[in-house]
Structure 1
Amino acid sequence: MNKKKILIVTRNLPPLIGGMERLNWHIADELGHENEILLLSHKDAQNTAPQNCNFYGVRLNPLPLFLITAFIKTFLICVVKKPDILFAGSGLTAPITVFWAKIFRKKSIVYIHGLDINNDSILYRLIWIPFIKQASSIICNSTPTQQLTLNQGVPSNKITIIHPGVNYPAQTRNFALISELTQKYQLENKKILLSIGRLTDRKGLLEFVSFSLPAIISRIPNTVLIIIGDTANNALNKKLQKKEDIILAAEKNNIRDHLIFTGSVHEDNLSSFYYLADAHVFPAKYIPNDPEGFGMVAIEAAAHGKPTVAFAVGGIIDAIKHQESGYLIEKQDYQNMTQIVVQILEDKSLISDKQCMQYAEQFAWYNLKNKFEKVIVNL
C-alpha cells in the first residue's frame, strides 16, 4: 500500500479511560507503522499518544469548545499538512472530518459505535447523522452497529465491520503483583467475579448486584465481586450509576462485604485482576436508544483465559462465542445468569483457559492494521 497521510480527529484517547480510548490509540499506532499519522485530540493525550504520530492538541472541556477548536485546527492542518484522508475516531468528530474532507476534496472515514448512529438527540440526528452518512467509508464496531447503520439508509458497500482489538498474548503473570493484590484485598480462598467498565446505566451493574449476586453468594458464600472502574464523568452519555447506589443495593441484600471497589487501575494491575478472577461478568442491559457497542472487556478476559457471562445485547454478541469464550444469556434473565455463574464457579473445566485464549487471538491488535489498510486501499 502506498504511504498515506492520515489525519485522525478524536476526543477519545488516554489518559481518558475506556474501550474507545484504547481503540483510537491502537488505530493511530498501527496505522502509523505504514503511514504518516497526524493526530488531533485533547491536550492531556499528548504525553501518552503513540510516538509515531504528529500530535495536535485542543482543550477537552467544555465539549462545545473542543468541537469548535478541533474544527478550526482541522482546517489549519489541512491547509499546512494536506492530509490524504480524514478519519473520525467516533461519530462525535464526523462533522469535522467529513466537512473538511469535502471542502479539500479528500476522502473521509468514520469509525462508529452503536450510540453514534442510534442517538435520540434531535440536534445529533439533524447534524451528526447526515455527516456520518456522507463519509467516504464507514467502519462499524460490530454486526448490530452495522445493522443500525443500514437502517439509516447507508449503502452496504460503504460499510465495513472492524471489531476493536486486544493485547495478545496477554501480559505474562506477575506473581509478585498478584500476591500483593491478593493480600491487599484479602482474596485468599475467594471465588472472584470481575466487573470492568465505567459505571453507566447501560452496564447494568446495579441490577446485577440486586438480582443475581445475592443468589450467587447464597450458593457460594466465599464469592466476591471486584468492580474496576468509576462513574463516567467525562462520558457524553450521562445516564450513570453511582457507587453509592450500588453499595446501598448490596447493603439491602446483606452482601456489602462481598463488593470490592478498586476505581480505575493501571494496566499491569488490570491484567493481574484478570488472572485472579474465576469469571468476568458483563450484565449490560438492553436499552434500544443506548446500545452496547461491542464489549472489548470480554475479549480482554478471554485473552487472559477467563470466560465472560453476559446478556446477549448489542455488540456483545460479536465479542463472546457462546460456550467457547463465555456464555450469552437472554437479556435481563437474571435467574439464568445466576445459574451459569454458579456453574462456572463450581466447575472451572466448563470452559478452558485454552479455549478462551484461542478465541481472543483473532482480535489481536496486530491484525488491526491489515483490516484498516483494506479500507484505505478501497477508498
Structure 2
Amino acid sequence: MMFYMIFFLFIALLPCNQLQMKKNILIVTRNLPPLIGGMERLNWHIADELSHQHHISLISHQAAKATSPTNIAFFAVPLKPLPFFLISSFFRTLYCCITQPIDVLFAGSGLTAPIVVLLAKLFRKKSVIYIHGLDIGTNNKVYNLFWIPFIRHADQVIANSSPTYQLCLQKQIAQTKLSIVHPGVTYPPKAKNEVLIQSLKNKYNLNDKKVLISVGRLTERKGINEFLDHCLPKIISAHPNTVLVIIGDTPSQSLNKNLQSKEMIMATANQHGIEEHVIFTGNISQDEILSSFYYLADLHVFPVKHIPEDPEGFGMVAIEAAAHGTPTVAFATGGVIDAVQNQITGILIDQQNYESLAQAIITALSNPVLEKQECMRYASNFSWKNMGRKISNLIDP
C-alpha cells in the first residue's frame, strides 16, 4: 500500500508537460530551407522543437529534405509550379492521413491552410494554422475569396505578432481560436569568434568604420533602396566612415513579386556618389559568419515600409541582432513593434519618417546609449525552445 501511495504522489508531482501524451503531428509547408527567409527558418525550428515532444511528419519540397530536422519523417513534393506543389501536397497529406496515425494537421503558413483544414475536417483531426502578416493582410482577391474562409474554419490559429493578431480579427477569425506565439531566435547566440570577426573586417575593409548592417531578402517592403536614397547620404555626411553592409539577396523562389535588386540599389548609391559605402555579401548560410556580422556591427537598420497589403509580420532579424547585443533602428510598422523594445533594444521611428530615421542613426553612432546586456536580456524571451513550448502547449493543452 505504501508503495502505491508513493507512486501516485510521484505522478502527481510531475510537471504537467511530462504528463502530456505525445501527439502525431503532420506539418505541411512550402517554407523551408534552402529557401531563404524568416518564414523558412521559423518552420524548420517549429518542426525541430516539436519533434522533441511529439512525433513529427513533414510534407515540403524535395530540396528541403537534405537539411530537415533529423528525427522526423519527411515526405517530398515538387516545389514549383505553385499549383503542382499544392495539388501534390494535398494528395500526399491525404495519403498520410489514411496510412498513418495523425492527431494534428499543422500548416506552416496560410498557403497550405486549405489542405490542412479540409483534410482535418474529413478525418476528424485537429487543424492548426501558423499565420504570418502577409498570410492575412494581402488584398489578393483570389486568396481572400478561397483561402481566408479555410483559415476561419481552423481549430487553432496562431499569429506571429500582435498586429497579425489584429489583422486576423479584422478578417473575422474567431478570437476564441486565436493566440500569439512570436517566432524565435537561437539563444544564447554563438560565442564571439574574434579571429573570424577580424577576418571579416579585413575582407570587407571594415576596420575603423561605423558599420550598419541590413539582414534580409531584398523586397520592396524591406525598403533598402529607399533607405539609401533618403537616409544614407545624410548619415555619411555626418559620419564619413560609415559603411552599410547588406546581407541578403533578391529571392528567386518568393511568391511575393514586389522585389528590389542589387542593381537597383547600387544605381541609387551611384546617384548619390556613395557606392563605396555600400557592401553586398549576398545570402549567408553559415551561422557563425552571420553571428560575427551582428557582433561587429554598430547598428542594425530595419527601414521596413508600411504597406498595408504586404505587412511585416514580425521582424526576426531585430531579435537576432538583439541576441548579439546589437540594437536596431527601425520604422514602427507591423510586427516590428513586437520585435523591438523602444529605447531598450532599439529605436522606433514613425512610419516613413526618413528624416527622423537618419537623425536617430546619426545620434546613435555619435553617442551609443543602449546597453548590450539589455538587448540580450530581451532577446532571451524569444528562444526557439520557448517558442516550441508555447506551440506545444496550444496543441496539447
Instruction: Give the alignment's TM-score, normalised by structure 1.
Output: 0.98
Rg larger for: 2
Report the 3-state secondary structure (helix = DSSP H, G, I; strand = E; otherwise coil) of the residue aligned with 2:300: strand
Range that drifts further, 285-294 or 176-185 = 176-185
Report the 3-state secondary structure (helix = DSSP H, G, I; strand = E; otherwise coil) of the residue aligned with 1:370: helix
Contact 2:128 2:154 (C-alpha < 8 Å) held by counterparts: yes
Correspondences of 1:1-379 after superposition (within 5 Å):
1-265=20-284, 266-348=286-368, 350-378=369-397
Alpha-carbon distance between aligned partners in 2 of 1:83 and 1:94, rounded to the nearest angstrom: 17
Alpha-carbon distance between aligned partners in 2 of 1:62 and 1:206, rounded to the nearest angstrom: 30
Report the 3-state secondary structure (helix = DSSP H, G, I; strand = E; otherwise coil) of the residue aligned with 2:243: strand
Letter in 2 for 1:284: V
Letter in 2 for 1:296: M
RMSD: 0.8
Deviation at 1:133, TM superposition (A): 0.7
Aligned counterpart, 2:17: none
Contact 2:151 2:173 (C-alpha < 8 Å) held by counterparts: no
Alpha-carbon distance between aligned partners in 2 of 1:121 and 1:332, rounded to the nearest angstrom: 24
Alpha-carbon distance between aligned partners in 2 of 1:43 and 1:176, rounded to the nearest angstrom: 37
Report the 3-state secondary structure (helix = DSSP H, G, I; strand = E; otherwise coil) of the residue aligned with 2:221: helix
Report the 3-state secondary structure (helix = DSSP H, G, I; strand = E; otherwise coil) of the residue aligned with 1:126: helix
Alpha-carbon distance between aligned partners in 2 of 1:96 and 1:52, rounded to the nearest angstrom: 24
Deviation at 1:352, TM superposition (A): 1.1
Alpha-carbon distance between aligned partners in 2 of 1:177 and 1:56, rounded to the nearest angstrom: 38
Deviation at 1:82, TM superposition (A): 2.7
Aligned residues: 377
Letter in 2 for 1:251: N
Deviation at 1:314, TM superposition (A): 0.5
Deviation at 1:370, TM superposition (A): 1.8
Provide, for residues 320-339 of structure 1, a one-character-per-residue CA deviation record: whole Å limited to 9, x for no partner.
00000001100011111111
Alpha-carbon distance between aligned partners in 2 of 1:179 and 1:374, rounded to the nearest angstrom: 43
Percent sequence identity over aligned pairs: 56
Alpha-carbon distance between aligned partners in 2 of 1:329 and 1:219, rounded to the nearest angstrom: 19
Alpha-carbon distance between aligned partners in 1 of 2:212 and 2:225, rounded to the nearest angstrom: 15
